[in-house]
Amino acid sequence: MYMAFKHMHLLLVALSVLFLFIRFGLRLKESPLLQRKFFKIAPHVIDTFLLLSAIGLMLIIQQYPFVNGWLTEKVIALLAYIALGFSALRGRTAAIRWLSFLGALGWLGLMVRVALSKQPLFLPF
């Protein structure tokens, strides 16, 4: 069961990040494709299943945010990633969008590092 959830989670992470890259590129080009229903709905569906797979994994391994430091740090990094991803797609200027996009990728990198090591980088517990 663990491996199924893990592989599903990793696939959904890849799809979510891929959609961020695609939508960011389309936003930079001011492409009308961003107004298509697919690009408005698909990222939310993917992210919903990504969250559900994360919750499933959390329950399977019996480790929880605010109890286990590495998982707490992943949740904090996720919130920063979401905020910066939103700013990368909705920022008023190209400079804000680029800085937000790069910042989101930095937080994504932290989440990957923490997920692989199960050791928080910043939190003491």
pLDDT score at 125? 65
Dihedral angle computed from the Cα positions of residues 86, 88, 91 and 94, in that order, rounded to the nearest 10 degrees: -170
pLDDT mean for each 10 residues of the chain (125 residues): 96 98 97 96 96 96 95 96 97 97 98 96 80
The secondary element (H helix, E strand) that includes residue 91 is none
Name the DSSP class of 33: G
Residue 48: half-sphere exposure toward Cβ, Cα within 13 Å: 5
CA geometry: angle at 88 spanning 86 and 93, to 5°? 125
How distant, in Å, are the alpha carbons of 13, 59, 89, 93 from that of 74?
13, 16, 22, 29
Helix 37-61 and helix 2-28, axial crossing angle in degrees, nearest 10: 150
